[in-house]
Structure 1
């Protein structure tokens, strides 16, 4: 009769295993951005490349070497990889709860109690095997597994994001280095010109053709150029330090690599941006992470719901024992098997509150996802606006450099011929130098904006370059 009752309980409750709790699911309208098309103009450049091969399309071997070095040994990536391994282990461990657990025991004792008479020495020994199995009636274990798998996927996405972030950090430091080098070369050439003017002015002053004021002006102009050159050299040194930190190479190795390239900025290189915001946004790593967090929160809701429902577990044990006392020996076997049903009856509303809290966390995760989508759309839009403005400013600055260069050449010729004074020469020289350094600064900004846009649209580091 008892065996029939046990079998009946098991059969009824096992039939309920297909009745898994429903997890909350956001609809498409809650996940997609409201904007169906970009409001900002798509950025343009003379050279376009496929987004997936963007880094290689720079065609800069020095940059390629620095990028690969940074991807191979970087604490940020190693930290992200360790988080993946942790999340993967947790996800795999969740599956173990769907199966029985089996354990073995072995016990041996020898005892004597002198308070009892007769005080025989007793030897006891037993070996046993026990098993337990919690039946996943309502899908709670599967919900936990889904949450841990989503957490693992989020960690993997974070690793990809770390790859792109490291590559962007290297590229920005490299662009800054080449910008400072290019400006240093311009300032060095300008300093050489100013020193020649200083020497000529001193020669004129020695024969009475120039005043001490002209000599002082030429000397001050030379000193000003020396200060600017020192500033550019400082920028080069700081950029090298940044590359050392992010690549893990020694400073000697970094300096050796950058000496192999040209001391000029890479040419602007763009890529086509997909016209549909929804397609672009879902490529972004932060959006994908937030989407996985929504799944984790949904799984927590399922776990909280299951906690309020009955649970079923099975337990079985087999034991073989032997006891020796003086001349008496006893041995035998024992076994037990049966289900255990637990039903939450009274917990002062704790389980209901925990379910409500889990539901609130799900709504928070969904709201955070939606907020991140809005931020992503804004970031892409703003970067495209800045790029469009940058293109116009670079074009205008190129015109101004050409104009100031003509003025400088003409003024310098007039000064040597004696038809222009030194002040006119210094003014034209200052205009030219300002325009030239501004041109390089804008070109550096333009490249930095393309790098930002690459991250903003969810660009990937080539997966065949470095694996985890």
Structure 2
């Protein structure tokens, strides 16, 4: 009875001691998110006439079901997204492991042993035990470890969202390129028809002695050059199909059928309402948010390393029972153990210094991400402004060349100009159309770049959906 009372008092004292120690503050820096030093306003000209106030509504305003289907296919079967999701699962498991450090560890064991000696009866010994231990989080090592793991999980989630934004933009860019490529092939084919007619007319003039033979050589050279350009353009279309097949995971036959079912023109990019200042854009970018969470994790890791500089206390206890030959023996033990780091040759301090170095590196990476985000937006706005102005002039030029070609057709029917003059006018009009198609593509691609630079439709509170294609 006396022993039981003493054991109870010891247990109570250790429990009170544990509660007292658990109230200790965690060592290491208390993290505060740094403030991004960015301009108050954009320097580049801002687009006007935007209709999409939210980035999440932007893709729908293209009203292109083929592009939407390609984006959905890419998201459901992307190795890049699958890898990003795997990193989320790794971070989630790491967080669960870190949280387990705050709980006691309990193990049980049992054994049955049959033994004997010569001329002696054999004996069966049965034993069982339950052991428990709990390391007190005196200086916040476990708490800082959980803090670091949780920040890493948030960072990996942001990486996944950033990969989604990049993938959607890449699919759209390749799709727009394919649509423009088809238009360019059609235009080059028309140009080649015109050049061949010019070549035939030139040869007739040369045979009649009305033109020098050098005119025929020039005509054939022009035909060969345009044929080469057409072949190159067709190859570019094939390469874009291969890229889309790689991005979406669709079989090429299915992909070609899907592309053939859609429009042949370049979809107009809906404008975006550009009302965000640089500081808002920086907060919207998933890559910047990911680097900031990495920085928070690095800060907490300093606390984990510093906690190892201080003593640690562990509470341990066990209950055991053993029975042999009709006799039984019960045993128990309980008590704290203290570990003091007296000398390790500077190893623990080196770990702290390393953790602080990692923090400095991560902080520099965060600053670099902020600068790159602002620069990327500024550059995309400059490119968009340039493409818009050039497209306006190209549209005007194409309209004027169409009028010029219409006049040339009337003159040819009236007999005031010959075939050669008419074909020259037609090729000039076709060249203007080629320039217009190229600039229309450039403008829509620049809009996609602006969408991506603004952070896309990323939302830090949005839920994550695992990819359909997972490892077996």
Match of 2:64 among 36, 60, 64: 60
Deviations for 1:357-396, whole angstroms, at most 9, x for unmatched residues? 2122222222221121111111111111111111112122
Tell me how far 1:459 sits from its aligned partner. 0.9
Deviations for 1:106-165, whole angstroms, at most 9, x for unmatched residues? 111223467xxx766443220111111112122211111111111111111111111111
Listed as ranges, the matches of 1:114-133 within 5 Å are 121-133=122-134
Equivalent residue for 1:275? 276
The 8 Å contact of residues 45 and 269 in structure 1, kept in 2 or not, is answered as: no
Equivalent residue for 2:384? 387
Indicate how the Cα distance of structure 1 residues 405 and 222 shifts in structure 2: closer, same or farther if over 3 A, else same. farther
Equivalent residue for 2:24? 19
Greater mean alpha carbon deviation, residues 329-338 or residues 195-204: 195-204
Listed as ranges, the matches of 1:219-298 within 5 Å are 219-298=220-299
Tell me how far 1:202 sits from its aligned partner. 5.4
Structure 2 unaligned spans of 5+ = 467-472
1-structure distance, mates of 2:57, 2:49:
17
Listed as ranges, the matches of 1:43-122 within 5 Å are 43-44=47-48, 48=52, 50-112=54-116, 121-122=122-123
2-structure distance, mates of 1:131, 1:168:
54
Tell me how far 1:268 sits from its aligned partner. 2.8
Equivalent residue for 2:45? 41
The 8 Å contact of residues 21 and 305 in structure 1, kept in 2 or not, is answered as: no
Equivalent residue for 1:373? 370
Deviations for 1:218-241, whole angstroms, at most 9, x for unmatched residues? 444443333222222111111111
2-structure distance, mates of 1:176, 1:212:
41
The 8 Å contact of residues 33 and 277 in structure 1, kept in 2 or not, is answered as: no
The 8 Å contact of residues 45 and 268 in structure 1, kept in 2 or not, is answered as: no
Equivalent residue for 1:357? 354
The 8 Å contact of residues 191 and 427 in structure 2, kept in 1 or not, is answered as: no
1-structure distance, mates of 2:388, 2:123:
94
How high is the TM-score relative to the length of structure 2?
A: 0.88
Tell me how far 1:60 sits from its aligned partner. 0.7
Greater mean alpha carbon deviation, residues 413-422 or residues 158-167: 413-422
1-structure distance, mates of 2:31, 2:149:
19
2-structure distance, mates of 1:398, 1:250:
37
Tell me how far 1:21 sits from its aligned partner. 2.0
Greater mean alpha carbon deviation, residues 241-250 or residues 190-199: 190-199
1:192 has 2:190 as partner: no
Match of 1:437 among 434, 437, 442: 434
The 8 Å contact of residues 164 and 460 in structure 1, kept in 2 or not, is answered as: yes
Tell me how far 1:197 sits from its aligned partner. 3.7
Aligned residues: 460
SS at match of 2:332: strand
Equivalent residue for 1:459? 456
RMSD between aligned residues: 2.9
Deviations for 1:195-215, whole angstroms, at most 9, x for unmatched residues? 344455556667776665555
Indicate how the Cα distance of structure 1 residues 377 and 147 shifts in structure 2: closer, same or farther if over 3 A, else same. same
SS at match of 2:456: coil
Tell me how far 1:97 sits from its aligned partner. 1.8
How high is the TM-score relative to the length of structure 1?
A: 0.89
